[in-house]
Amino acid sequence: MSKDSKNNFVVLKNICKRFGQNTVIGDLDLEIEKGSLVTLLGPSGCGKTTVLRMVAGLEKPTSGQIFIDGEDVTDRSVQHRDICMVFQSYALFPHMSLYGNVAYGLKNLKLPADEISQRVDDALKLVNLEGMGDRFVDQISGGQQQRVALARALVLKPKVLLFDEPLSNLDANLRRSMRETIRDLQKRFNITSLYVTHDQAEAFAVSDKVVVMKDGDIMQQGAPSELYQVPDSLFMANFMGDANIFDGHFDGETITINGVQVKANQRTVESKASGHYQVGVRPEAITLSHEGQPEHICKVNKVVYMGAMYEVSVTWGEHELLLQINSTEFDTDIKDQAYLSVNPVGVFLLDPVVLSSKKVQPELT
C-alpha cells in the first residue's frame, strides 16, 4: 500500500467481481479510515452486498486486492480476517440463551471462563440487555434480538465490523433507536465499520462517509451533507432526494434560473467557473408568499398536507416544480397564485450545459 493510505484501515484496490459472464463489480477502489463508519448505499442489485461479502471473505474477488490493517487479506478465509458481521436476519442460535449466543465466539477462542463471563455481561449491558442473559431468543423482541447480534459482534472486539442491512426487519421506531445505538457504540469503541443499506436516512444517520453505488460503480462518495448539498451528477441529485432541475447561468456570483437571480452560495463560488449549467434546487429551498416581483409569480397547482410539511406543486414559467414547505411556515391562504423565493443553500450546479455546437466547459478552480 502507498504511504498516503496509511490512515485507511480497510482498502479495496481494483476490485473486480464476475459471476460467470456477469460482471457485478467492474473496477472498484474503496478506502475506510481507521475508526470510521462507511456505508455503501445504492439501489437493489448495484453490488453493495457483494462488496461487503468480499471484505468478509465470503466471496473472492475475480481480481484486485483487499487490505485490512495494512495486511493483504485477499486470500484469507473469513476466520482469519478478524472481522465480525451483523446480519439483517440476526443469525442467532435459537436453542441457546442470550448469554450462550454472545459467549459463543469467546468460547471458540478458548478464553478463561471468568473472562468470558465478564465480557458477555459487559456486552449485554452495552446494548441495554443487562440481566437478560438467561432468556432464550424466542422470548425477546426483534429489536432485542438485533441488540444480541450486536453484542455478539462487539464482544469479540474485531478489527472490522460489517453490517449487512442490519435494521431491515425492524419497524420504523426501532430502526431509529437501533441506528442511534449502532452509531453510539461504533464511535465509543472506534470500530472501523462497513455498513450496507438501501435506506438513505439510515445511511445518513450512521455514517462518516457514504459511498453511493450504481451498477457496480461508485457514483460519488463523501460526508452525508456533502452528497446532499453538492451532488455531482443528475443521478446523485435525484438519488439523494428530490430536485428541481433548470438550465441556468452562473456568472461567478449569482445563478440565473428562469430569469431570476439567486446569489450563489460560498461553496459554488469557490468551486465552479462561470458558465451555463444544469442547476438543481432542492424542494425545501423554495418558499411561497403573497407578494414579490412579477418574475417570481407561479401558479399553484396542488397542495398536499404531509404532517411535518406541505408538498406543493407549482408551475413557474415552463417549469413544473415540487416544493416542500415546513408546516409551521406555510401560509394556508395561498391558493391559486403565489410568489416564490429561492434559498441559495439548496441550490447546486450540476453538469455544464452544451449550448448549440459549442461546448461550455468551465474549469474547476
- CB 218, min distance to ligand ATP, A: 13
> What is the C-alpha separation between 174 and 176, in angstroms, rounded?
5
- The answer to whether residue 224 forms part of the interface with ligand ATP (CB under 6 A) is no
- The answer to whether residue 45 forms part of the interface with ligand ATP (CB under 6 A) is yes
Q: Which is nearer to ligand ATP, 167 or 260 (CB)?
A: 167
Q: Which is nearer to ligand ATP, 76 or 198 (CB)?
A: 198
Q: How many residues bind ligand ATP (CB under 6 A)?
A: 11
- CB 38, min distance to ligand ATP, A: 15
- CB 194, min distance to ligand ATP, A: 13
- The answer to whether residue 39 forms part of the interface with ligand ATP (CB under 6 A) is no
User: In angstroms, how far is the first alpha carbon of the chain from the final one?
Assistant: 30
- CB 180, min distance to ligand ATP, A: 23
- The answer to whether residue 50 forms part of the interface with ligand ATP (CB under 6 A) is yes
Q: Which part of the chain contacts ligand ATP (CB under 6 A), choosing from 40-48, 124-132, 307-315, 320-328?
A: 40-48
- The answer to whether residue 214 forms part of the interface with ligand ATP (CB under 6 A) is no
- The answer to whether residue 21 forms part of the interface with ligand ATP (CB under 6 A) is no
Nearest CA to 60 out of 43, 46, 41, 81 is that of 81
> What is the C-alpha separation between 226 and 232, in angstroms, rounded?
10
- The answer to whether residue 30 forms part of the interface with ligand ATP (CB under 6 A) is no
Q: Which is nearer to ligand ATP, 197 or 258 (CB)?
A: 197
Q: What is the 3-state secondary structure (H, E, C) of 144-211?
A: HHHHHHHHHHHCCCCCEEEEECCCCCCCHHHHHHHHHHHHHHHHHCCCEEEEEECCHHHHHHHCCEEE
Q: Which part of the chain contacts ligand ATP (CB under 6 A), choosing from 46-54, 204-212, 294-302, 306-314?
A: 46-54
- The answer to whether residue 47 forms part of the interface with ligand ATP (CB under 6 A) is yes
Report the 10 Å Cβ neighbour count for 304: 9
Nearest CA to 25 out of 14, 38, 36, 40 is that of 14
Q: Of these, 44, 328, 361, 365, which contacts ligand ATP (CB under 6 A)?
A: 44
- The answer to whether residue 272 forms part of the interface with ligand ATP (CB under 6 A) is no
- The answer to whether residue 24 forms part of the interface with ligand ATP (CB under 6 A) is yes
- CB 24, min distance to ligand ATP, A: 4
- The answer to whether residue 19 forms part of the interface with ligand ATP (CB under 6 A) is yes
Helix (H, G, I), strand (E, B) or coil at 116: helix
> What is the C-alpha separation between 43 and 41, in angstroms, rounded?
7
Question: Would you say 59 and 78 are in contact if contact means Cβ atoms under 8 Å apart?
Answer: no
> What is the C-alpha separation between 337 and 300, in angstroms, rounded?
5
Nearest CA to 286 out of 251, 227, 242, 249 is that of 242
- The C-alpha angle 266, 272, 275, rounded to 5 degrees, equals 120
Binding site for ligand ATP (CB under 6 A): 19, 24, 42, 44-50, 198
